[in-house]
Structures are given as structure tokens and as C-alpha cells.
Amino acid sequence: MRPDQLGTLLDGTEPPDLWFLDELIDCAAKVLARSANGEIYFVGRSADSVFDFLSGALAGTDWARRLHQ
């Protein structure tokens, strides 16, 4: 694959079925609410989706520095 083709890797593929998105949003909201304005540490792989979601949602904010994996 050439570098100019990297953005085309997903061309022609179906979008993923995010059947769990509503639950992921609820879970992420609870994590933030229960953090009491503190640092948030994610331990283990089971929380990867929540970490990824919050990393994107909080990118560019002061809260982004509080997330740790």
C-alpha cells in the first residue's frame, strides 16, 4: 500500500453496527459524573471503549489531561 492510499483502506466496507452506542454513552457519562473532578484511570482492556469514547469527546478540553490508560 502506498502512503497516498492509506485513507482509502475502508472504502467499500459497511459502517460498523454500533448496537451498544447508547449504553456506551450512558457509561461514559457515569464515569465522568462519579470522577468528582479527579483523574480517571482505566485499568484493563474491558474499559477501552469508554476510554476511546471519552478521549474523543474530551479532546481539546482541560478534561482530556485527566484521562489515563
Write down the domain spans for the chain.
18-68
**Claim: this prediction has a pTM higher than 0.85:** no
Res 18: pLDDT: 92
Note the pLDDT of residue 5: 67
Helix (H, G, I), strand (E, B) or coil at 48: helix
pLDDT digits (tens, 9 = 90+) for 57-67: 999 999 999 99
Query: Rounded to the nearest 10 degrees, what angle do helices 48-57 and 21-34 cross at?
Result: 80
Give the number of other CB atoms < 10 A from CB of residue 54: 23
* Position 1 confidence tier, pLDDT thresholds 50, 70, 90: low
Q: How far is CA 29 from CA 4, 24, 25, 38, in A?
A: 38, 9, 6, 14
How many residues does the structure list for the chain? 69
pLDDT tens per residue, range 32-56: 999 999 999 999 888 999 999 999 9
Q: What is the dihedral angle through the alpha carbons of 6, 10, 11, 17, rounded to the nearest 10 degrees?
A: -160
